Amino acid sequence: MTVIKNLQAELSRFRLRLVAAAAFVLFCFALLVARLVYLQITQHDSLLERAETNRVTVLPIVPNRGLIVDRNGVVLASNYSAYTLEITPSKVPDLERTIDALTAVIDIQPRDRRRFKRLMEESKNFESLPIRTKLTDTEVARFAAQRFRFPGVDIKARLFRNYPLGDVGAHLLGYIGRINQVEKKAMEDWSEEDIANYRGTEYIGKLGLEQAYERELHGQTGFEEMETSAGGRAVRRLRNRPPTPGNTLHLSIDIKLQALVERLYGDRRGALVAMDPRNGEVLAFVSKPTFDPNLFVDGIDADSWKELNEDIDKPLLNRALRGTYPPGSTFKPYMAMAALNTGKRAANVVVQDNLTYSFGGRTFGSATGDRAGPKDMRLAIVTSSNVYFYSLANEMGVDMIHDQLEPFGFGRKTEIDLLGEVTGILPSTEWKRRAYKRPEQQKWYAGETISLGIGQGYNNFTMLQLATAMSTLASGGERYRPRLVREIEDVVKHVQRRTASDALSPLALRKADVDVIRNAMHDVTMEGTSRMVFAGAQYQSAGKTGTAQAVGLRAGQTYSSIKADERKRDHSLYISFAPYQAPTIALALIVENAGFGSESAAPIARRVFDYVLTGTYPSEEDIAKVRVGQVGAPIGTPRRVEDIPLPGAAASVPDASASSASAAAASVEASSPASRVPRPAVPASAVPAAIPGSAAERRLAPVAPRPNPGASR
């Protein structure tokens, strides 16, 4: 059968298809050309930057943290390098199995596992986290031989913080720890420059000077631009900017004096602050008991943390900065100064002291051993007359007391260069209205004023406030903000920047009035309550003992009935300055639950003055007696300060490997960029009480006694 085709129609259809195909091909080529133009011309700069980013990796180089040294150049905080075994969780398929396998190669304890899990909870999955720190050379070599078995696990060199003197001065130095989520949130408000400077930084100051001077100690972060292959391997270094080490803090603290005071306290609790009234420099800043900040360097273990956190003596509480106490009779010189300044009572006015004072149907007593008789202002201070100051407080009233004593620094922050300072309580009618909710509680009753005169009642202050007030009185009204750091040294430029204490406007005190108080305090050391302690001193000083109630007494209860409980006994206080004519040191201290100020607190002050003014160090026999409150004036043969070795002078950097334990910055600079990051592995969750004002620290704070007017010695 013959098929008849329309060749012309088929040819037309073929041509049409050919044109459509050609148009489609041309359209595709047009799309490719357009895309090429878009990528090569329009997006050229952006894509070039992205390509460079893929080719070049910028690695932050965290700087060496600055040193902290005392006024004589003794290193109090330094750095050392050590090897750590680290895991990047995102690169490990089976984390538990990997850790189990690692245990056969390197000793990994259960506490290391627990710490690692805490770090994982606080960190991002792609971060490298340490599971073991301070490896020995043997452990490093053993792992290196089997590294191929452990993808995502590596050995890195890290910088660790070291506190060579252990627990000496721990509360003023503080320590560093891993940046927690709260701190990361706070960093969002920083400037872009500051945020950039902390890229790669994992640790930050948590307490004390480490926290207060974080920006100075941190330094400037450097960087390295590394060319990488498609697989992410480093090919070569393109350029780098070395980091700038943190600045060195030169403190006003004499660490040997600090260590002596801590020894003199022994196992007792308390605080001491000594400062130079001529400029506000703090010479000693003691809180007892203390703790070893090295425990936190690579993450405190659960047992050590539990021991510190649950210790009834509260070693984590900075008593000098945050512990508030009733001042007892150390308050009386300031009451007398206020009376003279306001004209409420002249120095020669005599008050008959019959050992009791009645007001509102209540009788206020005197301390055991007080002697009755007529007393003027000088004799009232020398004999620590309660009746004299009961009546004075009643005449002045609470608001006048507040207004006169607040300029001395009571009831407000001294603005020392530490964070977390508390204000204490200097009561007033306005304060009580703000402090209480119920109307009947907000009212100030005249009877509440009586106890204020002897430093009891609502009065509660820190030893830092008492020392600052003593400094102001010793200098005749000159005031300075207390300072722990006297100089900041730029270790690159070798330039030291003086950080002298800020001078505040002086108090308008009449010299004749100041002399009355100073003379009376001088007589306290010559014929008063501290005369036996300062017998034979090569200098003249002025002071005032204080014995303050730790707990209030209920109706019908006597002090002797609670004396059996050591923690309910009275606190022992002493304020003083020396030399009497031209003071160079003023101090305030408390020994908790130690009784009379002349028995426990004043002997410590005497040894401090001997150290500073005569360069003598007490004998071991004398130290042993002072620690238990069994001696007044020094006994035994004193030694020269320069002959006494520093505490922990034989201590060295914590033992890691012989090669990695050296703290030489040069060896760190020679390592990889990541190895230059200081890595004290302190899990933030392990130290909740470290953060000033936290709930845990509030649990540690000493409970102030309920206001109860009573005997003050």
Catalytically active residues, by annotation: 329
SS3 643: helix
Q: Which amino acid is located at 307 in the chain?
A: E
Sign of the CA dihedral with 482 first, then 486, 491, and 492 last: positive
3-state DSSP of 463-476: HHHHHHHHHHHHCC
CB within 8 Å of 528: residues ≥ 6 apart: 381, 382, 383, 384, 545
- Cα(367)–Cα(456) distance, integer angstroms: 13
351 within 8 A of 453, measured Cβ to Cβ: no
Q: Which residue has the tokens 């302690």?
A: 533
Give 359's strand partners.
Answer: 362
Q: Which amino acid is located at 420 in the chain?
A: G
> Which value, to the nearest 10 degrees, does the dihedral of the CA atoms of residues 282, 287, 291, 293 take?
-20
b/e burial code for range 136-167 (CB count within 10 A of at least 16 → b): beebbeebeeeeeebeebbbbbbbbbbbbbbb
Sign of the CA dihedral with 527 first, then 533, 539, and 540 last: negative
- Cα(141)–Cα(129) distance, integer angstroms: 20
Terminal CA-CA length for the chain: 139
- Cα(542)–Cα(549) distance, integer angstroms: 24
Q: Where on the phi/psi map is residue 686: left (φ > 0), alpha (ψ -120 to 50), or beta?
A: alpha
CB within 8 Å of 454: residues ≥ 6 apart: 328, 329, 331, 332, 386, 389, 390, 393, 709, 712
150 within 8 A of 93, measured Cβ to Cβ: no
Characterize the bridge pairing of strands 585-591 and 270-275.
antiparallel
